[in-house]
Structure 1
């Protein structure tokens, strides 16, 4: 099911169900987007593997800040917006869309085991492969449709 079909379905729902449907959409989308980190895939497409596999943890998860920043920003019967990132997680777009280019590294002090080392400001080239975890997804649209249909069936059984 594509997004246009899902929108058509949602618009056909009665007014009294729309507010509950908005909550179902927000909850389902948030769960789906967060689950992409565990599955290491989005909409059935696996992520590019790491150049050097991690010994512990998971790809794109060090502290969990990126995954935990995914949350509903707007929930109304007409619109649901799921957002990711905050002031501590400003790298969301680079991971979701990929990035290749120069990155400015400011001057800083690096701590080693023996001493602190001053590092001059410099530029380095970065290549971050696309590992999409948010966006339009047929899998998500199907999950939303199935959950809303189940909710409507439960109302009809009462």
Structure 2
């Protein structure tokens, strides 16, 4: 009888471990992606607020990092397995994800426009483009410049995230 009970107990824990190995990585991935997306609402990561915007920055619409929601929507689980859970952000549509997350010095080379366009010279539309091309006008040349893109981290290791993951796993195992 004790031998049969021991076999049943081992079977129970084997099934429990298999179920646990399948559920925990999913819990971790979902919690991490939720936390990373919240960084954009809080404008901070792991309790550290993002640096203030430059006084020269004038957004056309939306707020910094949330203008089109492409960056937020690019956050998704990478690898989800019992031994490894990763998240990733960025795509061909969002090539700037790494630069915002890690910060970097951006250098632009000098360049010229190879085409010329009509621009309004006065009125409400001054400086905006008109239809058509004008010949015998000057093109536009832009000087080389560089600037430091400050780090506005939204992904990575975080104490807050680890605490959330532990709480969710504990509440899952209790149920």
Quote the Cα distance in structure 2 between the aligned partners of 1:33 and 1:67. Answer: 8
Match of 2:66 in 1: 61
Match of 2:99 in 1: 94
Is 1:113 matched with 2:128?
A: yes
Where in structure 1 are there 5+ consecutive unaligned residues? 1-12
- Alpha-carbon RMSD across the aligned residues, in angstroms, is 2.6
Aligned length: 142
Q: CA deviation at 1:119?
A: 4.2
Match of 1:47 in 2: 50
Distance 1:121 1:58, change over 3 A: closer
TM-score of the aligned structures, taking structure 1 as reference length? 0.77
2:29 to 26, 30, 37: 26
Report which of the two has the higher share of strand: 1
TM-score of the aligned structures, taking structure 2 as reference length? 0.70
Where in structure 2 are there 5+ consecutive unaligned residues? 1-15, 118-126
Deviates more, 1:133-142 or 1:49-58: 49-58
Match of 1:142 in 2: 163
Quote the Cα distance in structure 1 between the aligned partners of 2:95 and 2:116. Answer: 22
Quote the Cα distance in structure 1 between the aligned partners of 2:36 and 2:77. Answer: 11
Deviates more, 1:57-66 or 1:79-88: 57-66
Is 1:85 matched with 2:106?
A: no
> C-alpha deviations, 1:114-145, integer Å up to 9, x for none?
43795447532122111111111000000000
Secondary structure of residue in 1 paired with 2:153:
coil
